[in-house]
């Protein structure tokens, strides 16, 4: 974002000074950017319920997700290593945008990307974490990104005696 602002300020200052740029420089656009919207290494966990429990909630300010921008969510989860289901989820604006059910693992490092589709009220996401294939269709939503929206990282377990937790997360805004 800062690189984009500096680039536009440079172009504006050249224009205000009455100068003209060489033809090759007139088509130069500021570079795309990746900004960290939120990050935490503080662990959060729970046990004792099979309900879906929010491990982290981050506000995505209205207007931040541009027409062709994306939100990347990276999470390190910890779970009871058993044959029972533990379901790890990411929701944006209350809509499930990605999830994964795990069984015999103690920890998982997952990444989901929620992409804008050229308009403020249409997004798409792959239903499972990065670097996987699936028979499932992409998840689509019609969330108004002009308004503040919650991004929630959550988990649920099949047995209330088991646990699910999060060791940390990073949420990034990627802009063209």
- For the chain, the structural domain boundaries read 1-31, 32-175
Among the residue ranges 22-26, 39-43, 59-63, 134-138, the one predicted with the least confidence is: 22-26
Sort 9 into a burial class: Cβ within 10 Å, 0-12 / 13-18 / 19+.
exposed
- What are the tens digits of pLDDT across the range 20-58? 655 555 555 556 799 999 999 999 988 889 999 999 999
Average pLDDT, the chain: 85
Mean pLDDT of the 131-154 span = 87
Mean pLDDT of the 133-154 span = 89
pLDDT of residue 13: 56
pLDDT of residue 25: 52
**What is the CATH code for 32-175?**
2.60.120
Mean pLDDT of the 131-159 span = 88
Residue 11 has pLDDT above 80, yes or no: no
Bigger pLDDT: 112 or 131?
112
pLDDT of residue 19: 59
- What are the tens digits of pLDDT across the range 92-104? 999 999 988 999 9
pLDDT of residue 16: 56
Strand stretches in the chain, DSSP E: 33-40, 44-47, 53-60, 70-79, 86-92, 95-102, 107-116, 123-125, 139-141, 149-157, 163-175
């Amino acid at each position: 974002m800062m690189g984009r602002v500096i680039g536009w300020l440079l172009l504006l200052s050249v224009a205000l000074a009455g100068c003209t740029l060489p033809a090759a420089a007139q088509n130069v656009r500021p570079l795309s950017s990746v900004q960290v919207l939120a990050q935490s290494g503080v662990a959060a966990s729970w046990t004792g319920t099979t309900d879906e429990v929010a491990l982290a909630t981050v506000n995505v300010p209205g207007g931040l997700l541009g027409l062709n921008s994306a939100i990347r969510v990276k999470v390190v989860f910890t779970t009871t290593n058993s044959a029972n289901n533990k379901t790890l989820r990411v929701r944006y604006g209350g809509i499930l945008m990605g999830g994964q059910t795990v069984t015999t693992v103690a920890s998982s490092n997952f990444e989901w990307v929620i992409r804008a589709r050229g308009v403020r009220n249409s997004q798409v996401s792959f239903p499972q974490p990065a670097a996987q294939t699936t028979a499932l269709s992409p998840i689509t939503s019609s969330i108004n990104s002009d308004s503040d929206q919650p991004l929630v990282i959550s988990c649920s377990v099949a047995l209330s005696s088991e646990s699910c937790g999060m060791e940390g997360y990073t949420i990034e805004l990627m802009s063209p």
